[in-house]
Chain A
Amino acid sequence: MTQVHQVLSAVGPYDAVSTQAQAWRELLGGCGMHGAIYADLIDPRSSRVVRPLAELDPGPGDLVVLRYSAYAPRLRPLLELPCRKLLVYHNVTPPRYFWNHHPGVAVACALGRDQLPRYARAVDVAAADSAFNARELEVAGAPETRVVPILFEPGRLSGRGPGPEGEGPLVLVVGRLVPNKRHDLAIGAFAAYQRRFAPDARLVLAGEPLSPSYRGLIEHLARGSGARSVTVTGGLPQPDLNALYASADVLLSTSEHEGFCVPLLEAFHFGLPVVARPAGAMPEVGADAVLWADEGDLDMLPELIDLAVTDAGLREELARRGQRRLEHFAYERTADRILGAVDAALA
Chain B
Amino acid sequence: MTSPEEAIEQARERAAGQRSQDPAAAADPAGLGASITSDRPGLELLSEWSVIEVDRSTVYSTRRAGAPITALKRLLLRLLRQYHGELEARQTRFNIALLSQFRDLEARVSRLESERGAGVGDLAPGASPRGPGERGSPGGGPGAEPPIL
Closest A-chain residue to B13, C-beta based?
A: A303
- A291 and B32 within 8 A (CB): no
CB pair B57 A213 closer than 8 Å: yes
**Chain A contact residues, CB within 8 Å of chain B:** 43-45, 94-97, 99-101, 103, 110, 113, 179, 182-185, 187-189, 191-192, 195-196, 211-213, 221, 225, 288-294, 297-304, 307-308, 311, 313-314, 316-318, 321
Cβ of B144 within 8 Å of any chain A Cβ, yes or no, is no
Residue pair B29, A185 in contact (C-beta under 8 Å): yes
Chain A residues contacting B11 (CB-CB under 8 Å) are 291, 293, 300, 303-304, 307
Determine if A291 and B8 form an interchain contact, defined as CB atoms under 8 angstroms apart: yes
Q: Label chain A's interface by main secondary structure.
A: helix
Contacts of B29 in A (CB 8 A): 185, 188, 298
Total number of residue pairs linking A and B with CB closer than 8 Å: 123
Would B58 and A213 count as touching, CB distance under 8 A?
Answer: yes
In the complex, whether B78 has a CB less than 8 A from a CB of chain A is no
Question: Which of B14, B32, B49, B64 has the most chain A CB atoms closer than 10 A to its own CB?
Answer: B32
Tell me which residues across on chain B come within 8 A of A179, comparing CB atoms. Answer: 32, 35-36
A-chain residues with CB within 8 Å of residue B61 when the two chains form the complex: 44
Contacts of A191 in B (CB 8 A): 27-28
- Contacts known (A100-B37, A179-B36, A188-B29); A212 close to B8, Cβ less than 8 A: no
B133 to chain A minimum Cβ distance, whole angstroms, is: 30
Task: Write the chain B residue with the least CB distance to A301.
Answer: B27
B27 engages A292 (CB within 8 Å): no
Which residue numbers of B lie inside 8 Å of A, CB to CB?
1-5, 7-8, 10-12, 14-16, 18-19, 25-33, 35-39, 41, 45, 49, 55, 57-58, 60-64, 66
Contact A96/B28 with A44-B62, A314-B3, A317-B4 known, Cβ cut-off 8 Å = no
* Contact residues in A for B39 (Cβ distance below 8 Å): 94-96, 110, 113
* Given A291-B7, A314-B3: A45 touches B63 (CB 8 Å cut-off): yes
Distance A110 CA – B18 CA, assembled complex (angstroms): 40
Minimum CB–CB distance from B26 to chain A (whole Å) comes to 5
Q: Which of B5, B60, B62: most chain A CB closer than 10 A? A: B62
Asked if A45 and B8 sit within 8 Å, CB to CB, the answer is no
| CA of A225 to CA of B29, assembled, Å | 10
Instruction: For the complex formed, measure the closest distance between the CB of B66 and the CB atoms of chain A, giving whole angstroms.
Output: 8
Q: Is the CB of B26 within 8 A of A212?
A: no
The 4 closest A-B pairs by CB, nearest first: A184-B31, A313-B1, A303-B11, A299-B15
B8 and A99 contacting across the interface, CB-CB below 8 Å: no
In the complex the two chains form, is A304's CB within 8 Å of B26's CB?
Answer: no
Least Cβ–Cβ distance between B61 and chain A, in angstroms:
8
> What is the bound-complex CA distance between A213 and B11, given in angstroms?
35
Q: What CA separation (Å) do A183 and B32 show in the bound complex?
A: 9
Residue contact A182 to B32, C-beta cutoff 8 Å: yes
Interface hub of B35, B61, B63 (most chain A Cβ within 10 A): B35
